[in-house]
Amino acid sequence: MGNLLCCVQVDQSTVAIKEQFGKYQDVLQPGCHFLPWCFGFQLAGHLSLRLQQLDVRCETKTKVYSLFRNSTSIDLTQAVLVHNQIIKVNHNLYFDKHK
Protein backbone atom coordinates (compact mmCIF):
# COMPACT_ATOMS: atom_id res chain seq x y z
CA MET A 1 0.00 0.00 0.00
CA GLY A 2 2.82 2.41 0.88
CA ASN A 3 4.54 1.67 -2.41
CA LEU A 4 1.40 2.60 -4.33
CA LEU A 5 1.13 5.96 -2.54
CA CYS A 6 4.92 6.59 -2.81
CA CYS A 7 5.21 6.78 1.00
CA VAL A 8 7.88 4.87 2.90
CA GLN A 9 8.26 4.47 6.66
CA VAL A 10 11.68 4.10 8.26
CA ASP A 11 11.51 2.60 11.76
CA GLN A 12 13.30 3.92 14.83
CA SER A 13 16.95 2.88 15.29
CA THR A 14 17.25 2.23 11.54
CA VAL A 15 18.15 4.27 8.48
CA ALA A 16 17.39 3.58 4.83
CA ILE A 17 19.31 4.24 1.63
CA LYS A 18 17.48 6.09 -1.16
CA GLU A 19 18.51 5.43 -4.76
CA GLN A 20 17.41 7.00 -8.01
CA PHE A 21 17.75 4.68 -11.01
CA GLY A 22 20.23 2.57 -9.00
CA LYS A 23 22.50 5.47 -8.00
CA TYR A 24 22.97 6.46 -4.35
CA GLN A 25 21.01 9.61 -3.45
CA ASP A 26 20.59 10.05 0.29
CA VAL A 27 20.30 8.47 3.75
CA LEU A 28 16.74 8.55 5.08
CA GLN A 29 16.36 9.09 8.82
CA PRO A 30 13.52 7.47 10.85
CA GLY A 31 10.05 8.73 9.90
CA CYS A 32 7.78 8.93 6.85
CA HIS A 33 9.27 9.82 3.47
CA PHE A 34 7.92 10.46 -0.02
CA LEU A 35 9.60 8.34 -2.72
CA PRO A 36 7.90 8.68 -6.13
CA TRP A 37 8.70 5.40 -7.89
CA CYS A 38 7.64 6.90 -11.23
CA PHE A 39 10.79 9.10 -11.10
CA GLY A 40 13.04 6.11 -10.38
CA PHE A 41 13.32 6.45 -6.61
CA GLN A 42 13.59 3.26 -4.55
CA LEU A 43 14.98 1.98 -1.26
CA ALA A 44 18.25 0.08 -1.52
CA GLY A 45 17.86 -1.34 1.99
CA HIS A 46 17.65 -0.72 5.71
CA LEU A 47 20.51 -0.69 8.22
CA SER A 48 20.16 -0.98 11.99
CA LEU A 49 21.91 1.60 14.17
CA ARG A 50 21.60 -0.52 17.30
CA LEU A 51 24.65 -1.84 19.08
CA GLN A 52 25.13 -5.50 18.11
CA GLN A 53 27.16 -8.12 19.95
CA LEU A 54 28.98 -10.96 18.20
CA ASP A 55 30.37 -13.82 20.28
CA VAL A 56 33.60 -15.31 18.94
CA ARG A 57 34.75 -18.67 20.31
CA CYS A 58 38.30 -19.89 19.97
CA GLU A 59 40.03 -23.03 21.22
CA THR A 60 43.78 -23.16 21.62
CA LYS A 61 46.26 -25.72 22.97
CA THR A 62 49.22 -24.90 25.14
CA LYS A 63 52.67 -26.46 25.09
CA VAL A 64 52.75 -26.69 28.87
CA TYR A 65 52.50 -30.32 29.98
CA SER A 66 50.53 -31.33 33.04
CA LEU A 67 51.25 -34.25 35.37
CA PHE A 68 49.80 -36.73 32.88
CA ARG A 69 51.90 -35.51 29.92
CA ASN A 70 48.85 -34.16 28.05
CA SER A 71 48.74 -30.72 26.58
CA THR A 72 45.96 -28.58 27.97
CA SER A 73 43.42 -26.75 25.85
CA ILE A 74 41.86 -23.39 26.60
CA ASP A 75 38.45 -22.25 25.37
CA LEU A 76 38.16 -18.50 24.90
CA THR A 77 34.99 -16.54 24.24
CA GLN A 78 35.31 -12.92 23.15
CA ALA A 79 32.45 -10.46 22.73
CA VAL A 80 32.81 -8.03 19.83
CA LEU A 81 30.51 -4.98 19.79
CA VAL A 82 29.53 -3.52 16.41
CA HIS A 83 27.90 -0.13 15.91
CA ASN A 84 27.08 1.39 12.51
CA GLN A 85 27.74 5.13 12.17
CA ILE A 86 25.36 7.32 10.20
CA ILE A 87 28.19 8.90 8.19
CA LYS A 88 29.30 5.48 6.91
CA VAL A 89 25.84 3.99 6.33
CA ASN A 90 26.06 3.89 2.54
CA HIS A 91 29.49 2.21 2.67
CA ASN A 92 28.29 -0.36 5.22
CA LEU A 93 25.14 -1.24 3.28
CA TYR A 94 26.80 -1.57 -0.13
CA PHE A 95 29.79 -3.47 1.31
CA ASP A 96 27.47 -6.04 2.97
CA LYS A 97 25.43 -6.41 -0.23
CA HIS A 98 28.40 -7.42 -2.42
CA LYS A 99 30.04 -9.97 -0.11
Q: Would you write out the chain's pLDDT as a tens digit for each of its 99 residues?
A: 456 678 889 999 888 889 999 888 888 989 999 988 889 898 888 888 888 888 888 887 766 655 555 666 777 888 888 777 666 666 666 655 544
Domain count, the chain: 1
Residue-wise DSSP of 53-64: EEEEEEEEEEEE
Within a domain: 1: no
Within a domain: 2: no
Within a domain: 3: no
Within a domain: 7: no
pLDDT attached to residue 2: 53
Within a domain: 41: yes
Within a domain: 50: yes
Within a domain: 85: yes
Q: Which domain does 81 fall in, by range?
A: 15-97
Integer Cα distance of 47 and 85 in angstroms = 10
Integer Cα distance of 86 and 36 in angstroms = 24
pLDDT attached to residue 31: 92
